[in-house]
A and B are shown apart, each in its own frame.
Chain A
Amino acid sequence: MNAIVVIIATVIALAFDASFAGIFTLRSTGSITPQAIPCLVVFIALFAPETAALFVALALGILVDLSPGHGELGEGAHLIGPNALGFVVTTLLILRVRNIVFRRRILTIAFFTAGAVIVTAAVQAFVLITRGLMPWNPAVVGGGFGAFAKLFGTAIYTGLLAVPLGWYFLSTIGMWKFHSPTGRRATWR
């Protein structure tokens, strides 16, 4: 896997999520905004070698956790873990099923991306609840039907964004160099 391409894509995706994505925000429906990072995680999980995909997912999650607005703990501190573990679990799930899906279809990427948003959010909630159970941490608050509806909307919107992004990723797949050691490209469907 070409690390430079991954780094460039990560920087662009993080910058997109922290700024440019605001163009697509649905202000009238609770500021639902699509995200680029889950598309990148899904794409890498579908094509990269297993261990590399997991490492990249972990790194991407840590970077998202350190992004503005995420995991705020006061005085600028960030909570590292919710997105990092969420992306790892998402990648693990995709790794289990990627051999039985048509990976090179844009719809596959879009569907997995929408699912990735929900799975990541579920892991985030689990991490935050577990963290809140620790006696030294305050109990977590929030959630409810409104938050769930917003999450569902975000998942669908991100899945829609994954259509053009997935097309772009697939059209540049040669640059990513996801070659297996045996070079069996026939396993790509």
Chain B
Amino acid sequence: MSNYGTFRKRAKALPIAIAIVVSIAMFPASWLGWSSDVSDLIRVPITPLSHVGMIIKSWVRPAIEPSDLPTDEKERQELAVAERDHYRQLYHAQMLRSTELADQLRSMQSLPESALRNPMPPLVVSLDVTGVKPDDTSSIVELKLSRHVSDRVLTGDIAIVGRDIVGRISRVGMTRIGLLPSSHKDSGLIRAGIVPAHPLKDTRPPLLAEVLLQPTGNGYFIAEVQANRGIQENDIVVLDDSSWPISGIGLVLGIVTEITPLDEAPLRKRIEVTPRRRSREHASVVVLGTGEGNSK
């Protein structure tokens, strides 16, 4: 029994509250849609502080940059690298598109739009990361929602860091935006292409294989490829999925980090693909918005 009479009146309320929480915990997911709005409201006082925390965190402990990327020492070099990456993405996009077109020639389909000729280029929107679950590499990341971007960012838009895809927008709420990392289980199967990491120095074909990536929910993907494709570790895996926004075709999903033979299928191999960059390690991400809001 409590020694504190002040709280005795509320003693009956506690079991009721716990019973309500237990009941809610058993609800099907479709009944819990309201919890996102409650979360939006509750996060209002926490988000500013969390935002500052993310800025401090990224300053004190910046993200580990992939070792094969050049350093950002000089602006000219940065510009050159950015342009090179941009054109490499376009090259990959065009290469993948041409491969797809070759398959479609039989039915004489018209030439589809490429990322270069896309009549509705994406709006590049930089959004700050305001909340993460640091111990879960694939959990949903919270982004800051500014008034001027609310109509430019839509669910399904791609978020990138550099030329690496870090996820897709899962929800645009009242006060925040949810970012689903690409390695999250809910991302579903992703069609991708594997290309050499250094195409100019490599004698292998420019497109090594097309794979279907399966997110594991543990921060990486798995896929199966034919054993004779010559896939090597550190080969780059680029997006080639028509269900994703076209602006993301050719962007990097990750690199091949492990190749293991399949005992049950000797002609195939299992590969692990790990993203090079993760949104939770950065203070901000760039969203390729497909909304039609004013850009002023």
Contact = CB atoms under 8 A, between A and B. Distances in A.
Contacts of B57: 19-20, 22-23
A50 B3 CA distance: 8
Contact of A76 (B21, B25, B178, B217): B178
B76 interface: no
A148 interface: no
B254 interface: no
Contacts of B14: 51, 54-55, 58
Main secondary structure of the interface of B (DSSP, over half): helix
Interface in B40-93: 42-43, 45-46, 49-54, 56-57, 60-61, 64
B47 to A, nearest CB: 8
A94 interface: no
A25 B63 CA distance: 12
Interface stretch (B114-122, B128-136, B228-236, B245-253): B128-136
Contact of A77 (B18, B32, B53): B32
Interface stretch (B137-145, B199-207, B262-270): B137-145
Interface in B123-175: 130-137, 139-142, 170-171, 173
A114 interface: no
Nearest to A19: B53
A49 B18 contact: no
Contacts of A14: 46, 50
Interface stretch (B5-13, B96-104, B189-197): B5-13
Contacts of B46: 11, 14-15, 18
Interface string B268-287: 00000000000011000000
A182 to B, nearest CB: 7
A23 B54 CA distance: 9
Contact of B3 (A70, A77, A180): A180
B132 A19 contact: yes
Contact of B135 (A51, A74, A76, A154): A154
B21 A67 contact: no
Given A32-B135, A79-B25, A80-B35, A182 B3 contact: yes
A27 B7 contact: no
A49 B39 contact: no
A125 interface: no
B25 A85 contact: yes
A62 B21 contact: yes
Contacts of B25: 79-82, 85, 127, 130-131
Interface of B: 2-8, 10-11, 14, 17-18, 21-22, 24-26, 28-29, 32-33, 35-36, 38-39, 42-43, 45-46, 49-54, 56-57, 60-61, 64, 130-137, 139-142, 170-171, 173, 178, 186, 217, 280-281
10 contacts: A14-B46, A19-B50, A20-B57, A22-B61, A23-B61, A25-B135, A66-B35, A68-B43, A76-B171, A181-B4
Interface of A: 11-12, 14-23, 25, 27, 30-33, 49-52, 54-55, 58, 62-63, 66-70, 72-82, 84-85, 88, 127, 130-131, 134, 136-137, 142, 150, 154, 180-182
